[in-house]
Copies of this chain bind each other. A is one copy, B any other.
């Protein structure tokens, strides 16, 4: 049986999972694909820590070049994360004629253009199934399963930490900080959860989904990113009363000849299947022109879940290698009807607005007047409490309005004497 050698760079949590799967499923995979997959070299800067898998010590090295330059290795799996030296390793591997598997969404989001171009020039493939939704085969599905489709939008809950936090706030009525604390205690949030909570991790994944669906690598700085740190438990409670859940969504949407690419907390109607995605689960809701609206759901993180995706990429590459196939273009035919990215000011949406106003006659008239001036029409308005001369929340739902108009209006509203806090606005989708 033909043997294909893999070099692993990054002997951490997911790396150990990959090794374990390749060990335990060696014969299953060999039966399925007629190829023996062998981990020939493993590189990590730390070789001393205890791992939960047994490996041949002769495989181990601290020097990535020994893996990259090994002529018997056909596939390099990069699992160290971060930008440098991961980028150098991947470029080195491609230049040495090796295919690459990576779970490094940050790297691909920031340097995907360069990396995919080098891969294409060298006739090699970069596979990255584990980088979005861990073990959910979302990348394969968009790339291959939906190969003939055009896409109109993708809505993704692609960050398990923030979804866990929002779910806790919604279920328990607790505050953001309390929910984050619990997420940390349960191992669902890192010590510093900023990348997750502020939507950066979601934006990285959104770059990849956008690339797959629309063939465009969007610059991170061109994505509108708003995390969940401003979401309060009262907004979640009002959302529920109105029939919504708040989710941190990564959204790419084709609007006529422009693409909207954004990450932000979103009101989703309770009837929308995405609103039922709870805890650390991820789900990607894909609207395609032939196959219709599809959703892919599963755990968004986890050692074996991510390793499952890495192994499926390795298996696909063994088939490509056996066949001499080279198919980076499967990723990325640009949708030529897209002229550019829509500016945030031009986004149109319905909005939930919460205004903290002193409860006295005439205030609502002032607010409504300003909204009207900016062409924003109101679908519903509720004053949540009655506390004469005290500050109470006024909750509004608008009809479709442009972002710039909404922000203009809120800026002016916040200057009214009776408004005592910065007003909150959250976009409504899926209605």
Contacts and interface: CB of A to CB of B under 8 A. Distances in A.
Interface of A: 21, 25, 28-29, 31-34, 129, 134-137, 140-141, 144-149, 273, 276-277, 283, 288-299, 302, 304-305, 307-309, 311-312, 315-316, 319, 322-325, 327, 329-330, 333
Nearest to A20: B290
Copies of this chain in the oligomer:
2
Contact of A146 (B33, B289, B299, B308): B308
A111 B309 CA distance: 32
Nearest to A323: B323
A390 to B, nearest CB: 38
Given A277-B273, A290-B21, A291-B135, A144 B316 contact: yes
Contacts of A295: 283, 295-298
10 contacts: A31-B329, A32-B147, A134-B291, A135-B290, A148-B312, A148-B315, A276-B276, A283-B295, A294-B297, A296-B296
A136 B311 contact: no
Contact of A129 (B136, B145, B315, B316): B145
Contacts of A299: 291-293
A253 B337 CA distance: 46
A298 to B, nearest CB: 4
**4 closest A-B pairs by CB:** A137-B145, A323-B323, A135-B291, A290-B308
A211 to B, nearest CB: 14
Contacts of A312: 144-148
A330 B318 CA distance: 13
Contacts of A292: 135, 298-299, 302, 304-305
Contacts of A277: 273
B297 A273 contact: yes
A333 B312 CA distance: 16
A134 B25 CA distance: 30
B319 A322 contact: no
Contacts of A148: 21, 25, 28-29, 308, 311-312, 315
B291 A136 contact: yes
A141 to B, nearest CB: 5
Contacts of A145: 129, 137, 140-141, 309, 312
Contacts of A297: 273, 294-297
Given A322-B323, A325-B323, A135 B144 contact: no
A315 B146 CA distance: 10
Contacts of A302: 292
Contact of A308 (B33, B276, B291): B291
A311 B147 contact: yes
Contact of A273 (B276, B294, B324): B276
A290 B293 CA distance: 27
Given A136-B294, A146-B312, 19 more contacts: A21-B290, A28-B333, A32-B330, A32-B333, A33-B330, A34-B329, A140-B141, A140-B145, A141-B141, A146-B308, A148-B311, A273-B276, A283-B295, A290-B304, A292-B299, A293-B298, A295-B295, A296-B297, A319-B327
A47 B289 CA distance: 28
A134 B319 CA distance: 26
Nearest to A292: B299
A342 B328 CA distance: 46
Contacts of A136: 291, 294
A129 B290 CA distance: 14
A150 to B, nearest CB: 8
Given A291-B135, A291-B298, A29 B325 contact: no
A296 B283 CA distance: 10
Contact of A294 (B29, B135, B140, B324): B135
A353 to B, nearest CB: 28
